[in-house]
Amino acid sequence: MSSLGMADKVAIALVLLALAGQLFFQSARRRAPYSKLRKVNAYQSADLLISAVAEKGRRLVLGIGNNLTDQGASLSGVAGLPLLKAISRRSLFNDQKLQTVSGDGVLACLSQMVTHGAYQNAVAVELFQPGEAVLAGTTRFASLAGLLPEVNHRANGGVILSGQFEGETLLALDLAARKNILVAGSTASLGGQAAFLAGVCNLALGEDYYAPAASLETDPAAAASLRAQDLLRIIIAIALLVGAGLTIAGVL
Amino acid sequence: MKKGLPIAVAILSGLFVLAGLIFQPYLGPYLGLVLNWAVIVGSMALLVAIASLIIYHARSILTARKGFIFSIVILASFGLSLVGGLWLGVDNPAYLKWVGAIQRPLEVSLLGLVALIMTSAAVQVFRNRGWSPLTVSFGLSAIFFLLIALGLLQTLEVPQIATVIGYIRQLPLVGARGLLIGVAIGAVMMAIRVLLGSERPYSD
């Protein structure tokens, strides 16, 4: 423990603060977890898109990214799965089934488990088809090549991309725009965010990427997380400003 | 039990990895072992996903679904790569050259296409998103950084301009850091939910 540097101690303090915030908001807002909760535009758009696509009897494609276990594995790779859970529950009995595409073996398996679980919960497991959640490819470009035909499908009414995507995703966004298919997207990667901004896309930036379950009101714990992370963001912003001020003043 | 076991395993693994990072001198060797287990499980999951992909495309061919020709191409190229890898070994230079000679030109051509579409999208961003502080700053910074990258301002050899350019070049890094801090906060909150067992991305 004695080998912990200043940065490690600050990191531990932030994590403890985050934990305290999570527990506080989870218990304080137990009765009305979504009351006065900040909404993320991209997920609100995704919500409208899900309903519009279902009403028109069109198909919805959900891309959950192409990086979970390779190229620097991180938790941000699984952030698309809460969205998959939320959409699966709502679209099980639609005319056209939700098509999930992933670019990573583990993500593909997890997406199949989540989709299968949604059918199981609805006591309709016999309707599940493994083809509803497929592995598009095992590299960035291979998964893009797998995503493009899914976007190009004639029954498509909307595309939601939520996961780790890079700049080349712009090809899929451009294809969707040319076919007048609505797109909503969120990604943690900077290259992907630039592509989503340039393409026609309702985009979730930064920490909002992790808030699909809170915005779609499917997980009270996620709502508590959104409140806690907003508080943490303010604390960090103030700390940065104070730190910069003290550095300029020569104190630090 | 069926639902409780994966949650318990996820929480224990998460806590162990966290403890391993903090108490690295004591738990370091075990941390490597647990991460190796994760690699093995991940590889198995990849095999399962590939098997599922093969079944999906085989069904497309058998039922003559629209576009089944592409399924034949996928299965044929997969089969060739698999047989080549098994026969020659995945480290064989001839095998790597053969795979690279197909894969690299395809990826580079896709990148070229991305460059073209990115240029077109950068122009269309004003039409799609309208005139807003975001789009105006996007347009101005794109033009400014293009000018800097061309090196026209640097040819003037004015020290003050070089200093200003140096400062401006830091701006994207500052913005990127801001976004990454936000992403890190979100990741911390998600990790806490996983450790508390309230977020279960691995189950229904």
ipTM of the complex: 0.85
Q: Which residue of A112, A113, A198 is in closest CB contact with B121?
A: A198
Q: Which of A210, A231, A232 to mutate to test the interface with B (most CBs of B within 10 A)?
A: A210
Cα–chain center distance at B34? 23
Q: What is the pLDDT of residues A30-39, one digit of tens each?
A: 888 888 888 8
Is A19 a domain residue?
A: no
Q: What is the pLDDT of residues A94-138, one digit of tens each?
A: 888 899 999 888 888 889 989 998 998 888 888 888 888 988 888
- For the beta carbon of residue B108, count every other beta carbon within 10 angstroms: 11
Average pLDDT over residues A239-245: 92
Q: Is the pLDDT of residue A245 over 90?
A: yes
Is A103 a domain residue?
A: yes
Average pLDDT over residues B173-201: 87
**Rounded distance between C-alpha atoms, residue A168 and residue A65, angstroms:** 12
Is A10 a domain residue?
A: no
Partner-chain contact B22 A1, CB within 8 Å: yes
Residues 6 or more apart whose Cβ sits within 8 Å of residue A25: A223, A224, A225, A227, A228
Nearest chain B residue to A83 by CA distance is B201
Find the angle CA(A86)-CA(A168)-CA(A107) to the nearest 5 degrees. Answer: 35
Cα–chain center distance at B201? 18
Q: A58 CB near a chain B CB, below 8 Å? A: no
Query: Radius of gyration (Cα) for chain B, nearest Å?
Result: 26
Number of Cβ pairs closer than 8 Å across A and B? 176
Q: Is the pLDDT of residue A2 over 60?
A: no
Residues 6 or more apart whose Cβ sits within 8 Å of residue A214: A34, A37, A40, A222, A223, A225, A226
Q: B102 CB near a chain A CB, below 8 Å? A: no
Distances (CA, A) of A137 to A160, A184, B72: 18, 22, 15
Closest CA to A66 of A239, A188, A245, A194: A188
Q: Could you give the number of structural domains in chain A?
A: 1
- Looking at the complex, report in whole angstroms how far the Cα of residue A135 sits from the nearest Cα belonging to chain B: 6
Note whether A130 and A122 are within 8 A (CB).
no
Partner-chain contact A141 B107, CB within 8 Å: yes
- Looking at the complex, report in whole angstroms how far the Cα of residue A200 sits from the nearest Cα belonging to chain B: 7
Average pLDDT over residues B47-61: 89
What string of DSSP letters covers B106-129?
Answer: HHHHHHHHHHHHHHHHHHHHHHHH
pLDDT at A69: 58
Partner-chain contact A116 B204, CB within 8 Å: yes
Q: B25 CB near a chain A CB, below 8 Å? A: yes
Q: A243 CB near a chain B CB, below 8 Å? A: no
Q: B108 CB near a chain A CB, below 8 Å? A: no
Is A46 a domain residue?
A: yes
CATH of the domain at A84: 3.40.50
Q: A4 CB near a chain B CB, below 8 Å? A: yes
Partner-chain contact B46 A138, CB within 8 Å: yes
Q: A153 CB near a chain B CB, below 8 Å? A: no
Is A22 a domain residue?
A: no
Q: Is the pLDDT of residue B31 over 80?
A: yes
Residue A204 phi/psi, 5-degree rounding, is -105, 125
Q: A69 CB near a chain B CB, below 8 Å? A: yes
Residue A172: pLDDT band (50, 70, 90) is very high
Is A147 a domain residue?
A: yes
- For the beta carbon of residue A38, count every other beta carbon within 10 angstroms: 12
**Rounded distance between C-alpha atoms, residue A238 and residue A246, angstroms:** 12
pLDDT at A73: 60
Q: What is the pLDDT of residues B76-106, one digit of tens each?
A: 999 999 999 999 988 899 999 988 998 899 8
Q: What is the pLDDT of residues A75-90, one digit of tens each?
A: 777 888 888 988 888 8
Name chain B contacts of A118, Cβ cutoff 8 Å: 204
pLDDT at B204: 63
**Bridge partners, A182 (sequence order):** A158
Partner-chain contact B193 A222, CB within 8 Å: yes
pLDDT at A98: 92
**Rounded distance between C-alpha atoms, residue A191 and residue A144, angstroms:** 15
Partner-chain contact B186 A222, CB within 8 Å: no
Is A198 a domain residue?
A: yes
Q: Which of A168, A234, A235 to mutate to test the interface with B (most CBs of B within 10 A)?
A: A168
Cα–chain center distance at B190? 19
Q: B110 CB near a chain A CB, below 8 Å? A: yes
Residue A44 tokens, joined: 């609100």
Partner-chain contact B49 A135, CB within 8 Å: yes
**Rounded distance between C-alpha atoms, residue A228 and residue A23, angstroms:** 9
**Bridge partners, A202 (sequence order):** A184
Query: Helix, strand, or coil here: B9?
Result: helix
- pLDDT above 70 covers what percent of chain B? 98
Partner-chain contact A168 B190, CB within 8 Å: no
- The whole domain housing A94 covers 36-245
CA atoms within 13 A on the CB side of A109: 17
Nearest chain A residue to B197 by CA distance is A221
Name chain A contacts of B56, Cβ cutoff 8 Å: 130-131, 134
Note whether A164 and A67 are within 8 A (CB).
yes
Compute the Cα dihedral for B30, B33, B35, B41 and give only its sign. negative
Residues 6 or more apart whose Cβ sits within 8 Å of residue B12: none
Q: A230 CB near a chain B CB, below 8 Å? A: no
